[in-house]
Amino acid sequence: MRFTPALVAVKKGETVRFVVTNSGKVPHEFSLGTEQELKEHYEVMKKFPGMEHNEANKISLKSGQKGEVIWRFTKGGVVDFACLHPGHYDAGMKGQIKVANQ
Ligand SMILES: [Cu+2]
């Protein structure tokens, strides 16, 4: 229940392609957002655990699947990412992207 790496450093204005592989045995997801957005999404996932996503900022991956999220970081600061399948976030399946102001 973890992301490798869990800490990513980028620069403001950069567009990053996250190539994510689920090397585990159960479905996972990769969701980008503020901590607040991720927590709200986590509450929804607890009610609808089978939710699958293919949106700009999140992707669902079954065991062995690989996918991409492409995101442009327009502001400096911290952006969080997490897997919001019930229990996974609490188990520590989260990480941070530090966006430097150049
Ligand atoms: Cu997960």
Domain range summary for the chain, segments of one domain joined by +: 7-100
The whole-number pLDDT of residue 49 equals 86
* pLDDT tens digits for range 14-68: 999 999 999 999 999 999 999 999 999 999 999 998 888 888 899 999 999 999 9
73: left (phi over 0), alpha (psi -120 to 50) or beta: beta
What pTM did the predictor assign? 0.93
The whole-number pLDDT of residue 50 equals 85
Backbone dihedral angles phi then psi of residue 68, each to the nearest 5 degrees? -130, 145
Cβ burial, residue 101 (10 Å; 0-12/13-18/19+): exposed
Confidence of residue 85 (pLDDT cuts 50, 70, 90): very high
Which tokens sit at 18? 């996250």
19 Cα to the center of ligand 1, angstroms: 16
Domain 7-100: CATH architecture, name and number where available? Sandwich (2.60)
101 Cα to the center of ligand 1, angstroms: 31
Per-chain residues with Cβ under 5 A from ion ligand 1: 28, 83, 85, 88, 93
